[in-house]
């Protein structure tokens, strides 16, 4: 079975378990040179270079999805995922008062599969489909080409950054996007939160973690929980996540609309290192093959919620992905597909849906949170059971 990007139960190897691979990727030399010239880099810079470097960055240079790639995401597991998100958008558009124009913006659309499946479902709600202008936020040229192909015939605008479309109401979708944004790490040493950085070990010819005692976590970010944390604890600070969520929230407050965030992560502030790497469906040492493995960190949903609330928007959830998908009709949709499926297809649909909703697979590790302007009073998938 192809692996998803979150691997909570398997421990990535630690530096030193295996000899590093030959530094073929230009990212390796770029990082080595940078460290030699300016000293150890932040974990955030290491992550940003490994994923987004123009010449050798992981996302810049490849299609990482599927059996022949490194991992599989929900839209790639079943068309039902994107179709249900499409219908969720239609339902949300109605809750927004059915505006005659709105922007449907997907962040980090991968192969474009979710958007293609969502648009197919939206054909059944033509008023909503006709009101939507389509926007994809994507930095990878390789993935943009694939998105252009799967969405040919559709009128799509691509952006490298979150667009600001004036006063247009908006629906944002971000599936497994926030986890790809770089995080900084801090480690508690002698009561102080010092930055954990990435250095280069010339003797063993590999990247390694180090500590920069001079760069410390700003006092405003030291919560009571961090004051009480044990010596040696690691804290992941995610200012880029905060920046994106704040920008989304400001637009929702000003223009009206909703944002749907689906990702793996923690529902509460917590300490601990979650930086992880995956390559060919297996966890690997996050420092071993920069540019050739996917690097992610768990999303802190409490931080996302607090950032959105500070921007005067309303926060829904987080709820478990399994619960959300069942509330928006995954079982009913599967039953409809069964009617036209043969025995083998029924088996495949069942396997895919189990993978998406089962607590043993993606059902509870993945969370769903929505952010809306405060006029929205009903949102599918977030109803409380009574
Ligand atoms: C793990 S993939 C998720 C793909 C897709 N949402 C899915 O579920 O299949 C992360 C996506 O975010 C894009 N990405 C990563 N960092 C980005 C950034 N800083 N700005 C825009 N897109 C980014 C990647 O190129 C890729 O399309």
Assigned domain for 344 exists: yes
Residues 6 or more apart in contact with residue 298 via CB below 8 angstroms: 6, 179, 236, 264, 265, 266, 274
Query: Residue 217's CB: how many other CB atoms inside 10 A?
Result: 19
Burial label for 259, CB within 10 Å (0-12, 13-18, 19+), is buried
Assigned domain for 137 exists: yes
Assigned domain for 234 exists: no
Q: What is the pLDDT of residue 2?
A: 54
Do 283 and 13 form a contact (C-beta atoms < 8 A)? yes
- The reply to whether ligand 1 has any atom less than 6 angstroms from the CB of 138 is yes
Our mutation pick for probing the ligand 1 site, out of 82, 108, 238, counting the most ligand atoms within 8 A of Cβ, is 108
CATH number of the domain that residue 87 is part of: 3.40.50.150
- The reply to whether ligand 1 has any atom less than 6 angstroms from the CB of 110 is yes
3-state SS assignment for residue 144: helix
Residue 231's H or E segment, with its range, is none
Assigned domain for 68 exists: no
- Phi-psi domain of 153 (left: phi exceeds 0; alpha: psi -120 through 50; beta: other): left
Per-residue pLDDT of the chain (386 residues; tens, 9 = 90+): 457 777 654 433 333 444 445 557 899 999 999 999 999 999 999 999 999 999 999 999 999 998 888 889 999 999 999 999 999 999 999 999 999 999 999 999 999 999 999 999 999 999 999 999 999 999 999 999 999 999 999 999 999 999 998 899 999 999 999 999 999 999 999 999 999 999 999 999 999 999 999 999 999 999 999 999 999 999 999 999 999 999 999 999 999 999 999 999 999 999 999 999 999 999 999 999 999 999 999 999 999 999 999 999 999 999 999 999 999 999 999 999 999 999 999 999 999 999 999 999 999 999 999 999 999 999 999 998 76
- The reply to whether ligand 1 has any atom less than 6 angstroms from the CB of 70 is no
- Locate 300 and state its tokens: 């802190």
In terms of Cα–Cα distance, which of 382, 384, 385, 386 is closest to 92?
382
* Ligand 1 centre distance from Cα of residue 268 (Å): 24
Assigned domain for 82 exists: yes
Q: What is the pLDDT of residue 353?
A: 96
Q: What is the pLDDT of residue 261?
A: 98
- The reply to whether ligand 1 has any atom less than 6 angstroms from the CB of 45 is no
Measured distance CA(314)–CA(109) in Å, rounded: 25
- The reply to whether ligand 1 has any atom less than 6 angstroms from the CB of 109 is yes
Measured distance CA(245)–CA(249) in Å, rounded: 6
Do 276 and 283 form a contact (C-beta atoms < 8 A)? yes
Query: Residue 173's CB: how many other CB atoms inside 10 A?
Result: 24
Q: How far from the centroid of its chain's Cα atoms is residue 212's Cα?
A: 28
Q: What is the pLDDT of residue 23?
A: 53
* Ligand 1 centre distance from Cα of residue 75 (Å): 13
Return the ligand 1 atom nearest residue 59 CA: 25
Residue with the nearest Cα to atom 1 of ligand 1? 176
Q: What is the pLDDT of residue 6?
A: 73
Residue with the nearest Cα to atom 13 of ligand 1? 108
* Ligand 1 centre distance from Cα of residue 19 (Å): 30
| DSSP classification of residue 51 | H
- In terms of residue numbers, what domain contains 153? 74-181+239-270+297-372
Q: What is the pLDDT of residue 155?
A: 96
Do 115 and 136 form a contact (C-beta atoms < 8 A)? yes
- The reply to whether ligand 1 has any atom less than 6 angstroms from the CB of 140 is yes
* Ligand 1 centre distance from Cα of residue 97 (Å): 30
- The reply to whether ligand 1 has any atom less than 6 angstroms from the CB of 108 is yes
Do 106 and 173 form a contact (C-beta atoms < 8 A)? yes
- The reply to whether ligand 1 has any atom less than 6 angstroms from the CB of 316 is no
- Locate 12 and state its tokens: 């990535």
Return the ligand 1 atom nearest residue 76 CA: 9
Measured distance CA(200)–CA(205) in Å, rounded: 7
- The reply to whether ligand 1 has any atom less than 6 angstroms from the CB of 59 is yes
Measured distance CA(306)–CA(303) in Å, rounded: 5
Q: What is the 3-state secondary structure (H, E, C) of 311-361?
A: CCCEEEEEEEHHHHHHHCCHHHHHHHHHCCCCHHHHHHHHHHHHHHHCCCC
Q: How far from the centroid of its chain's Cα atoms is residue 127's Cα?
A: 30
- The reply to whether ligand 1 has any atom less than 6 angstroms from the CB of 180 is yes
In terms of Cα–Cα distance, which of 74, 72, 2 is closest to 322?
74
Assigned domain for 277 exists: no
Q: What share of the chain is helix, strand, coil (3-state, %, to 5)?
A: 35, 25, 40
Our mutation pick for probing the ligand 1 site, out of 78, 110, 162, counting the most ligand atoms within 8 A of Cβ, is 110
- The reply to whether ligand 1 has any atom less than 6 angstroms from the CB of 257 is no
Give me the number of domains the chain comprises. 1
* Ligand 1 centre distance from Cα of residue 112 (Å): 10
Assigned domain for 222 exists: no
Our mutation pick for probing the ligand 1 site, out of 81, 141, 180, 182, counting the most ligand atoms within 8 A of Cβ, is 180
In terms of Cα–Cα distance, which of 164, 153, 171 is closest to 106?
171
Measured distance CA(338)–CA(335) in Å, rounded: 5
Assigned domain for 148 exists: yes
- Locate 28 and state its tokens: 């390796």
């Amino acid at each position: 079975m192809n692996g998803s990007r979150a691997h909570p139960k398997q421990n990535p190897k630690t530096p030193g378990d295996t000899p590093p691979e030959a530094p073929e990727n230009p990212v390796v030399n770029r990082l080595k040179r940078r460290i030699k010239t300016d000293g150890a880099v932040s974990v955030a810079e290491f992550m940003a270079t490994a994923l987004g470097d123009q010449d050798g960055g992981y996302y810049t240079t490849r299609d990482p999805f599927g059996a022949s790639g490194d991992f599989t995401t929900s839209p790639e597991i079943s068309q039902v995922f994107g179709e249900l998100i499409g219908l969720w958008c239609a339902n949300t558009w109605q809750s927004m008062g059915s505006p005659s124009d709105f922007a449907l913006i997907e962040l980090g659309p991968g192969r474009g599969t979710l958007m293609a499946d969502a648009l197919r479902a939206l054909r059944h709600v033509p008023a909503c489909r006709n009101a939507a202008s389509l926007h994809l936020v994507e930095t990878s040229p390789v993935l943009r080409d694939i998105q252009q192909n799967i969405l040919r015939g559709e009128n799509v605008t691509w952006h490298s950054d979150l667009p600001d479309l004036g006063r247009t109401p908006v629906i944002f979708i971000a599936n497994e996007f926030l986890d790809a944004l770089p995080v900084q790490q801090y480690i508690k040493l002698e009561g102080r939160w010092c930055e954990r950085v990435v250095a280069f070990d010339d003797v063993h010819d590999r990247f390694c973690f180090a500590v920069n005692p001079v760069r410390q976590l700003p006092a405003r970010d030291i919560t009571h929980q961090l004051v009480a944390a044990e010596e040696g604890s690691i804290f992941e600070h995610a200012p880029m996540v905060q920046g994106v969520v704040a920008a989304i929230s400001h637009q929702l407050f000003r223009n009206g609309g909703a944002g749907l965030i689906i990702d793996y992560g923690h529902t509460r502030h917590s300490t601990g290192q979650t930086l992880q790497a995956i390559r060919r469906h297996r966890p690997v040492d996050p420092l071993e093959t920069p540019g050739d493995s996917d690097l992610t960190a768990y999303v802190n949903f409490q931080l996302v919620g607090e950032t959105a609330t500070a921007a005067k928007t309303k926060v829904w959830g987080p709820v478990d992905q399994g619960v959300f998908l069942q509330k928006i009709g995954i079982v009913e949709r599967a039953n409809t597909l069964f009617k036209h499926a043969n025995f083998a297809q029924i088996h495949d649909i069942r396997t895919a849906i189990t993978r998406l909703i089962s607590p043993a697979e993606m059902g509870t590790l993945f969370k769903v949170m929505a952010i809306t302007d405060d006029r929205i009073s009903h949102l599918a998938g977030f109803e409380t059971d009574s």
